[in-house]
Structure 1
Amino acid sequence: MITKIWSKEDLNDAAAVIKAGELVSFPTETVYGLGADATNNEAVSQVYLAKGRPSDNPLIVHLAQQTEVAKYVTEIPAIAEKLMAHFWPGPLTLIFKANKAALAPLVTAGLDSVAIRIPDNQITRDFIRACGVPLVGPSANTSGKPSPTSATHVYHDLAGKIAGILDDGETGVGLESTVVDVTNPDKLVILRPGAISQEEIEQTLGIIMNMDQYLVNQEAQPKAPGMKYQHYSPNEPVILIKQAEDWQAAIDYYQAKGEKIGLLANQSIVSLYENQIVASYDLGQAGDIETAGRKLYGGLRYFSETPATLILAEAFSKKGFGEAVMNRLEKAAGFHYFKRG
């Protein structure tokens, strides 16, 4: 299969491919999604096949407008209405009780719930309208690897496996959406942190949120994407560095073990140690967590093109958007932090 690259002028061509039951990667403000008709079970099965994704992992349904939500759920709690009004379109996914008859069985992975969002990208919403059907849209990458934030990343992982890619440049947020379970309105739970923080949701609703641990083991079925322990992982092992004084110790330790070190950190740290390592990727200025999040997946992917055999990565504060950044980094590293001695 030849994977085509389309621009926004080719929306109708890309939509025709979706209608024919094939796969198209599309941009969003978070990461690039792998689109298929969410009402076509055969098309959805090809998403799992192309990604190498376990079929017990449910998919997020992407819609063009809020009025469509009622078709695919059995109820919309008042508290969900408030979240939708405040944050949609945007990087927020809500999990509702599913109207399973309206969706392909594989979308919900056997669960009684469905995850839905409306992306904050006009091209994406126009594309969904042109398709005339809801789209599943898991990240358009090999399952478990860093998500794609550009059409180039998608092509690297899925060329020859999908019909085409709708190219809209690099994504703005760079991390997947925040996922909130609203199936029990009296006990809202964040299943995956993202650009919309717990604090923002609490301020909007005037309540204190319940926090999930964001994890299930490798055998258990997740209720939302990205909840497995090992996820977002590059080919090289990742070790997190928490304390500033640990950078030199970690470089010395792993070089003594024969590792070729890659550094994933802010500009100041990279400039301090770049003469001692084989590769580096800066995540922006120190303290700029939004830039770090936007560049994170590109950085994790970068090292596969270098001699690096191990990545030392900066650990960030878990305040605000840092919660989402560290959620991805800890899973990429398998929660491995450098410890002296």
Structure 2
Amino acid sequence: MSLETRSLAPTTEGLDEAARLLAAGALVAFPSETVYGLGGDARQDAACAAIYAAKGRPQFNPLIVHLADVAAVARYAVMDDRARALAAAFWPGPLTLVLPRREEAGLSPLVSAGMATVAVRVPAHPLTRRLLQTFGGPLAGPSANPSGRVSPTRAEHVLEGLAGRIAAVLDGGPCAVGVESTIVGLAEGAPQLLRPGGVPVEAIEAVLGQPLVAGGSAEAPTAPGQLSSHYAPGAAVRLGVTRPDAGEIWVGFGPDCAGADLSLSETGDLTEAAARLFHMLREADRLAGQGGRIAFAPVPDTGLGRAINDRLGRAAAPRP
């Protein structure tokens, strides 16, 4: 059954209506500093199941739970000294921690995909923070797009993929960071990098005083964003291209890409490139057309560049 997907303004009335819909078990997309999330009450099994259904998301792929503050996180997950140090340094902000889940706290087991852990974060976007306070509970919130496709950084991107499948979109304008949160696993042993993202790995390692080890897998994901083919446009994607082939839509980076059709950042600014990444993927896909090809110029694999290259690598991976 198709729904009429409403667009809610970033006003008190819009927030009140979004909170009412969420409490009733409906799905509402919301902005964050990273990308738009598809929100549902993380305590309601039906709402969490509806998130998987609306996205076409495999139910073995866990969801991130968004919470208003560190005190709320501690009600749903077990925080050790490492988690508290990272929370003090980076929350509110684009960092997700995978922690042991408190069984008694009442989260739907669907958010954890059957595991004993839960992925949690405290978002920084002021509208999201107001929504969490108005709603008064935990919001499961994966990216608000069909599973495996390009993540949405504007309300219109959400409507392109999910109109008719969700109740509403809370329009907070373009997202500032543009790539999803960095995910760090602290449930057991050494801290693990489960997904690079909006907080550079180097900054996290500086707070912890130790390196992150690689964790998770596409076959048995312990956090979102680990599937091998993900963030994919319709067109084929080729990476590290300094001379595009005829017919390719070339997306440049830096000042040495004269003649590029589009650019992540003409000045080579990684922060600008991250903020524009998913919008450029969508625009390149539109220009390439059905059966087309997209070529991306090289991006340095440091700082935010690591997250950009991770997303581009998954966008270019063979499709299942």
2:125 maps to a residue whose letter is N
Q: Does 1:100 align with 2:103?
A: yes
Alpha-carbon offset, residue 267 of structure 1: 6.2
- Counterpart residue number, 1:193: 196
Alpha-carbon offset, residue 97 of structure 1: 0.6
2:249 maps to a residue whose letter is G
Q: Does 1:333 align with 2:316?
A: yes
Distance 1:125 1:221 in 2: 32
- Deviation digits for residues 121-170 of structure 1, max 9, x if unmatched? 12101101111220001000010011000001001000111010011110
Equivalent of 1:317 in 293, 300, 316: 300
Distance 2:62 2:101 in 1: 12
- Counterpart residue number, 1:224: 223
- Alignment CA distance shift 1:307-1:115 (3 Å): closer
- Counterpart residue number, 1:210: 213
- Counterpart residue number, 1:43: 47
Alpha-carbon offset, residue 221 of structure 1: 2.2
Alpha-carbon offset, residue 203 of structure 1: 1.3
SS in 1 for 2:278: helix
2:137 maps to a residue whose letter is V
Distance 1:131 1:198 in 2: 32
Equivalent of 2:17 in 13, 28, 33: 13
- Counterpart residue number, 1:302: 283
Distance 1:282 1:136 in 2: 33
Alpha-carbon offset, residue 31 of structure 1: 0.3
Distance 2:225 2:73 in 1: 23
Distance 2:103 2:113 in 1: 11
Gaps of 5+ in 1: 275-279, 337-341
Alpha-carbon offset, residue 270 of structure 1: 5.2
Alpha-carbon offset, residue 104 of structure 1: 0.7
Distance 1:68 1:231 in 2: 30
Alpha-carbon offset, residue 335 of structure 1: 7.8
Q: Does 1:22 align with 2:21?
A: no
- Deviation digits for residues 297-340 of structure 1, max 9, x if unmatched? 0111113433441001122111111110100001101189xxxx
2:122 maps to a residue whose letter is I
Distance 2:263 2:201 in 1: 27
Q: CA RMSD in A?
A: 1.7
Contact map agreement 2:25 2:44 (CA 8 A) in 1: yes
Q: Does 1:291 align with 2:272?
A: yes
Q: Does 1:78 align with 2:87?
A: no
Distance 1:261 1:282 in 2: 14
Distance 1:151 1:228 in 2: 25
- Alignment CA distance shift 1:267-1:96 (3 Å): closer
- Counterpart residue number, 1:4: 6
Alpha-carbon offset, residue 209 of structure 1: 2.3
Equivalent of 1:167 in 155, 165, 171: 171
User: How many residues get paired?
Assistant: 312
1:119 maps to a residue whose letter is P
1:226 maps to a residue whose letter is G
Distance 1:211 1:288 in 2: 26
Contact map agreement 2:235 2:288 (CA 8 A) in 1: no
Alpha-carbon offset, residue 205 of structure 1: 2.0
Alpha-carbon offset, residue 180 of structure 1: 0.4
2:116 maps to a residue whose letter is D
1:291 maps to a residue whose letter is E
- Counterpart residue number, 2:263: 282
SS in 1 for 2:29: strand
1:281 maps to a residue whose letter is L
- Deviation digits for residues 284-308 of structure 1, max 9, x if unmatched? 2242111111111011111343344
Distance 2:301 2:288 in 1: 31
